[in-house]
Amino acid sequence: MIGLETVRLDDEEQALVIVDQTQLPGREVYLHLRTPEEIREAIYHLKVRGAPAIGVAAAYGLALCARRITAEKFGEFYPAFCRLKELLASSRPTAVNLFTALNRMDDCVQRFQQEKVEKIKHHLREEAEAIRNEDAAACRRIGEWGLSLLKPGMGLLTHCNAGHLAVSEYGTALAPVYLGQERGYHFQVFADETRPLLQGARLTAFELQKAGVEVTLICDNMASAVMKQGKVQAVLVGCDRIAANGDVANKIGTSGVAVLAKYYGIPFYVLGPVSTIDFACPDALHIPIEERSPEEVTEKWYTRRMAPEGINVYNPAFDVTDHSLITAIVTEKGICYPPFDRSLQLVCSRQ
């Protein structure tokens, strides 16, 4: 593993501690966040990112900020708690883990509403820690299931960052890579740079190289070339939301990779915990897609502006890969194959 702790709660300092992913790979900077506004800003500005990591950060953040609510009665505590929850929920709209974690914390409060407020705050801390530990365990199991689909020496292509930095441990799409590294599989990974925020270049390439994995960075528009040359035998990507029919929202550019993989006959695997499955969302049309600042396209990472002033810019953070392009969805409870509307339900029913 890479020796970085993505998200943790420091009880002694009363702070949510995250590695600032906007500073990678050049600097390893840890931020100590103490207010709900700081935590929301860190999620919105991608200082902490990756659907599972966002969920863990939100749970920890809610537990931390709830401690500071000065109320002795539940009727006074709960409205203040809900305001904190709503503030954090407004940070990003697409990753369902954010809302799953916040709703789970809300359920915790309501479950113990007959207890003293101080005891409820203690339960919130325990619930947040459980969310973090369950995420870590799920990632390990996702890695085991994913590795069962792969063979030693394979060339693998990934898009964005679904590794250790996006979760508590191991990652989702990169979990099989790390397990394979431990077991001598000698994978060759091709990492798309992932425009416009370069999560592949800054984060995936960084963490794989640090872990000793053989990794080659490519521009997004080079994916077709390495596929055509026979260098890629499987595509592994993460997910921010899975609709009930198997449509998957992930970082912008993922659907294009899926189309290429389909054309070249390469398996396209989506890896993520069952917490990313949203059965209330029937299909792609019902997944909200976040749009971000034009400056991320025209100016970010450049020493000077690289587009004309006043140019119209479309900058969606995510796209949706149609279920028909997906070979399998890998979760901690097992592997789902088409038809996904049935297999997703089946896998989630398992204990």
Active site positions, annotated: 240
Contacts with 83 (C-beta within 8 Å, 6 or more apart), sequence order:
none
Contacts with 288 (C-beta within 8 Å, 6 or more apart), sequence order:
93, 94
Say how far apart CA 321 and CA 259 lie, in whole Å: 9
> Between β-strands 328-331 and 268-271, what pairing exists: parallel, antiparallel or unpaired?
parallel
DSSP-assigned letters across all residues of 60-113: HHHHHHHTT---SSHHHHHHHHHHHHHHHHTS-SS-HHHHHHHHHHHHHHHHTT
> Between β-strands 241-243 and 155-158, what pairing exists: parallel, antiparallel or unpaired?
unpaired
Contact 258, 326 (CB under 8 A): yes
Say how far apart CA 165 and CA 208 lie, in whole Å: 11
Say how far apart CA 32 and CA 20 lie, in whole Å: 10
